[in-house]
Amino acid sequence: MVRKGKVIVTGFGVILLLALFLVLMLVSSCKKSETPASPAEEETTAVSPVTTEEISQEQEEVPGGPYSPYDGKEVDQDISNLRPLAIIVENLPVARPQSGLTKASVVYEIVSEGGVTRYVVIYGPNINPEIIGPVRSARPYYVEIAHSFDALFASFGGSEQAVKVIDYLEIPDIDAIRTGAPHWRDQSRSAPNNAYMNANKLRAFAENKGYSLSGGRSPFLFKEDAPEEGSGEPDTIVVNFSQPSFEAKFVYNLEGNDYLKYVAGNPHVDRETGEQIRVKNVIVQITDIVNVGGEPGHVAVRTTGEGQAFYFLDGKGISGTWRREGVDDPFAYLDQDGAPVKFNRGQIWVCFVPSEENLAATSLGD
């Protein structure tokens, strides 16, 4: 059973907006790391945090390095402390195929409104795609996820509530509309699903705005791939976010010890290269997702507290939990014994869904 934690409520309800406004006014002189209260906040059992220091101490010692804390891949020493970049990418059928997803360190997939999913795409210090998009607008929970990585945050606008959260949390904002961050329109596609960005140009723009390019935090531990004889059997993971056109499927590939990604039953490919997305690790994170805006309906997504989680790597499924004490903290991904899960080096794809019923996987006996 998922227990509720602190949450910044989103939506268009007047009561919610007034409540959030009053809270912001009351705490404007307080420490920024405190989480804004909300009308939906409930009394809960305190969540024991797993700190980034504890995570780093658990990291396997391997030769070479340094290694990116976001995908575990080797990086040059002079960029190893570079802050990650988070960008919001659309997943409407007309926005496919997207650009830059195959190169991401981490991708979080969550519903927006009307059951449409969008991606919070995290690029580590070693990854700077020339074309990323289509870039779309932010929602509060997208901002909160990006903040868990202390990332530079790029989007093309945002809801009124998202903008409030960006300002409250003092996010290093490089939004195309609010800040004039560099972007372009691809005239072969129709607006609003035709805005694109370049990672290097975004980093340079952020530096010119006075944001520090050093920093970042990560919830991930990494290990070496399991040997072929230690890998699992063929596995298919299906995540149902809302409707068939947004269904995500991951099919285990023993030869590469990775998962081929599909969207709406079709191979999910990169627009520029035609390459299918290959994921080394899949996380299905169970949390509260509540419609708060009617039709088409914006949603509130809980990103703090704790809940159930399922991990897929090496062709095997593992059940466990996730935790996050507050919006200034990273997530913690734990196995059934409460120990941090160790992931394979490479891309991690995280799916937020409200129930275990949204997940089917042969490795879990489904």
Tell me: the pLDDT tens digits for 4-18? 333 344 443 333 333
Answer whether 246's CB lies under 8 Å from 115's CB. Answer: yes
The mean per-residue pLDDT over the stretch 131-139 comes to 97
- Residues 279 and 346: their CA atoms lie apart, in Å, by 7
Continuous H helices in 94-159? 140-148
28 contacts: CB under 8 Å, gap ≥ 6: none
E strand residue ranges, 140-240:
152-154, 184-185, 195-196, 221-223, 236-239
Render pLDDT for 273-326 as a digit per residue (tens, 0 to 9).
999 999 999 999 999 999 887 656 689 999 999 999 999 999 999 999 999 999
In the predicted structure, residue 252 carries a pLDDT above the cut 90: yes
Task: Note the pTM of the prediction, 2 decimals.
Answer: 0.85
CATH 3.50.90.10 is right for the domain spanning 1-23+35-366: yes
Q: Would you place residue 155 in the very low, low, confident or very high pLDDT band (cuts 50, 70, 90)?
A: very high
pLDDT per residue as tens digits for the range 66-93: 999 999 999 999 999 999 999 999 999 9
Report helix, strand or coil for 272.
coil
CB neighbour list of residue 336: distance below 8 Å, 6 or more residues apart: 318, 319, 320, 321
- Which two structure tokens, joined as six digits, stand for 174? 């490089």
The helix/strand/coil state of 166 is helix
CA neighbor of 110 nearest in space, from 152, 85, 139, 136: 139
Which of 303, 42, 26, 281 lies closest to 147, judged by CA? 303
Q: 150-181: b or e for each residue (b if 16 or more CB lie within 10 Å)?
A: bbbbbbbbbbebbbbbbebbebbbbbbeeeeb
- Domain residues of the chain, as ranges? 1-23+35-366
Element (H, E) at 55: helix 52-58
pLDDT at site 85: 98
Backbone angles phi, psi at 307, to 5 degrees: -175, -175
Chain segment 167-183, per-residue pLDDT in tens: 999 999 999 999 999 99
What is the residue-averaged pLDDT of the chain? Answer: 86
3-state SS assignment for residue 58: helix
